Amino acid sequence: MRVKCVLCDTIQSIEDRSSLAKRLRNRPIHTYMCDRCQERITDKTNKRIATGNFMLYRTPAKENEW
């Protein structure tokens, strides 16, 4: 299966029977990102977290009364 990175527009091929290929075929909202772009985003996010100014806003978990 040929896939295109959403950030750098490089075209790569992945195995047709892999779990990533199945996820991309069955759920069109999922997008492919190459390893180089994924690593770059991970590094930049970790650097932002290390500065202490990075806030991750998550909704608080609601307790079920049942």
pTM: 0.67
Q: What is the DSSP string of 13-59?
A: E--TTSHHHHHHHH-TT-----HHHHHHHHHHHHHHHHHT------P
pLDDT of residue 43: 96
pLDDT of residue 8: 93
pLDDT of residue 13: 93
Return the CA Rg of the chain. Answer: 17
pLDDT of residue 11: 94
| Tens-digit pLDDT profile for residues 2-61 | 999 999 999 999 999 999 999 998 987 888 999 999 999 999 999 998 998 888 787 887
Q: Which amino acid is at 8?
A: C
